[in-house]
A and B are shown apart, each in its own frame.
Chain A
Amino acid sequence: MTITADESRVYGYDDLSRLMGMMTGDEKHGPAATSTLDVLWVLYDRVLRVTPERRDDPARDRFLLSKGHGPMAYYAVLAAKGFVPVEWLPGFGSYDSPLGHHPDRVLVPGAEIGSGSLGHGLPIAVGTALGLRARGLGDPAVWVLIGDAELDEGSNHEAIAFAGPAGLDRLHTVVIDNSSASHALPGGIAARFEAAGWSAVTVDGRDHEALSAAFTAPHPGRPRVVVARVEPKNA
C-alpha cells in the first residue's frame, strides 16, 4: 500500500481534535473514543519505537488496540504520525474506506491487530511477546490497550494469570478506566493484575507527564500494567 501522507506537515496534540472532527457521521462511540486520546498520544509520541517506515520491521515495538470501539482517537493519532493518510479520515465508516468503526489490521497501515470483539487483544499480545522471545528479539516491547469494562471478558483473565508467572516482561497493558464496568470494586483492576505477579500502577489518564513516567518505569522480570483513570463514562 502506498502511503501518501503529507510529509511536510508535522501534527501535534493540538491537531488531534480537528483530525477527529474530519471523521464525521454517526460515531455513536464518541465519548469512548476520547477516553483513549491522551494515552494513545503519549504512547505514539514518546514511548513506542515504531514509525511508518518501520511498520514491517521485526524489531519494532507493537501496539495492539484491543478496545476497538471508538477508534477515532486511534485513527487521528495514526494520521498525525503519518501511518494513515489524513485524507482517509473523512471517509470513516464508509464502504470504500479502510477505516471502520472497528479497525482491521489488513486495511489500516500501522494497526497490529483488528479488534471490535472484546477480550482478544491481550491473549494475542501474550503470543506476540512469546513469539518475539522465541525469535531472539528480546528488545521490542508489546503494548495492548483495553478498557475497564473489557476486563469483564474472561479471556483477559486467562492472559493475565499466565503472563505474570511466565515472566513476560516485554508485555505492557494499559487499562483505560472510565468506570464503565457494571460490576466492579474500587482498586480491583490493579489488584487483579498484581495478584498475578504484574507490576502495576494507577495514574491520571489525562496527565501526560504521569502517563509517560508510568509507561517508562522499569519492571524487571514482570509484565507491566498501567491503569489510566479518566472521567466516568456516564458522569
Chain B
Amino acid sequence: MDTMRDRFAPVVSRMLDEDPRVAVVLAEIGAAGFQEAARRHPERVINVGIREQLMIGTAAGLALTGLRPVVHTFASFLVERPFEQVKLDLGHQDTGAVLVSAAASFDWPAGGFTHMAPGDVAILDTLDGWTVHVPGHPDEAETLLHHAVAAGDDKVYVRLSVQSNRAGRVIDGQHLRTVRGGRSGVVVAVGPMLDAVLDATEGLDVTVLYATTVRPFDAAGLRRATEAAGTDVVLVEPYLAGTSTAAVNEALSDVPHRVLGLGVGRRELRRYGTIEEHVAAHGLDPAALRERIGGFTGAGRAAAAG
C-alpha cells in the first residue's frame, strides 16, 4: 500500500494546477516530489534550503500577499524547531497556513530521537486557533489535505504517518465517527490507532469513536457517545500520551467522569529498530491496549468476571 506521504505531493501538485492561491514551501525534505510541479509553477513551489525558520517566515509572507501556503517537512523540523515562527509569524501576525508533517512519532525508528516528534500536537495545543487533522489512512490524508487547503486562511496542521489502518473510512474533517457501539465506556481512537483499538476491544462492551480531526475537539460528539456508554473515557493517540485529556475533561466538565490517556510515552527510549517494536514499547499493540483499556473500563471488569 502507498503511504500518506506518497499521496501528498501528487495531491498538492494538482491543487497548484487548479488554484492560483496555493503555494508550497519546502526546506529540501520532500522537494523531489514537487519537481514537475515546480517546472509548471516555479513561482509557487519554493524550496528555501535547509532553513526551517525561513520556511515558516516565508509562508507568513506569502499569506500576507493573499496566497495559501502549504508547508512541509518532518514534524520535528516543522513545528518544534521553528516553534516561535509558528507562534508569531502565523499566530501573532494573524496569517494562515497549512503545515503538513511527515515522520510522526516514530515513523523512522532507526533514525533515532532527532527524527521523532511525539510532542507535535501537544506543543501546538499551547496556541490558539489551530485545526489539527490526524489521518489514519492515505485516502483520509487526501480528503483532509483538501479540507485543510480549502479552509480559508485558517491555521491547519495535517499529521501524516506511515502508520496506517487497513482501510480508510468516510470522514468529514470535523466530527468523531462512531465505529462500534457499547454501554460500558468510550474509547476514542485517533488516526492510525484505530485498527489496534478495534482488535484490542473485540468482545468488550465499549463504544469506539474514531477521530481524524482532534482540534477543535468534537466535544458534542463525545458527550453524545457517553449518554449510552457512560463517562469512562479512554483516549488512544499516536502521539504523546494524554495530549487530548484536557479536551475530554472540558467536554465532560459538568458530569462526573474518568479519563485514561494512552499514547506515546514521554521517556526517551534510546532504541532504534522497527515501528512495531516502538508500538510495543509504548504499550500500543492490541494486547497491551486490551489490558489497559479493560482494566480501566467497566467493560473490562465485566469481561473478566464473566
Contacts and interface: CB of A to CB of B under 8 A. Distances in A.
Given A124-B64, A131-B23, A132-B65, 5 more contacts: A124-B57, A131-B62, A134-B44, A134-B62, A158-B54
Interface in B35-87: 43-44, 46, 48-49, 51, 53-54, 56-67, 69, 84-85
Most interface-central of A104, A126, A133, A137 (chain B CB within 10 A): A126
Contact of B61 (A58, A128, A161): A128
Contacts of A155: 53-54, 57, 85
Contacts of A225: none
B62 A130 contact: yes
A122 B89 CA distance: 11
5 contacts: A58-B66, A120-B89, A131-B61, A137-B65, A155-B85
Contacts of B89: 120, 123-124
Given A120-B88, A158-B48, A135 B67 contact: yes
A114 B92 contact: yes
Nearest to A136: B43
Contacts of A134: 23, 43-44, 62, 65, 67
A113 B93 contact: yes
Chain B interface residue number, banded: 20 to 34
Interface of B: 23, 25, 43-44, 46, 48-49, 51, 53-54, 56-67, 69, 84-85, 88-89, 92-94
Which 7 residue pairs are nearest across A and B when measured between Cβ atoms?
A: A127-B61, A123-B57, A131-B65, A127-B58, A158-B51, A128-B61, A158-B54
Contacts of A113: 64, 93
Contacts of A61: none
Interface string A94-115: 0000000000111000001110
Given A131-B67, A154-B53, A126 B94 contact: no
Interface in A38-81: 58
Chief secondary structure at chain A's binding surface: helix
B92 A58 contact: no
A125 interface: yes
Contacts of A158: 48-49, 51, 53-54
Given A130-B58, A131-B67, A162-B51, A106 B94 contact: yes
Contact of A131 (B49, B53, B64, B92): B64
A133 B43 contact: yes
Contact of B65 (A58, A117, A120, A122): A58
Given A120-B85, A162-B51, A126 B92 contact: no
B157 to A, nearest CB: 19
A159 B57 contact: yes
Contact of B84 (A117, A130, A131, A154): A117
Contacts of B63: 127, 131
Given A133-B43, A134-B67, A158-B51, A126 B93 contact: no
Contacts of A161: 49, 51
A114 B62 contact: no
A117 B57 CA distance: 13
A129 interface: yes
Nearest to A126: B58
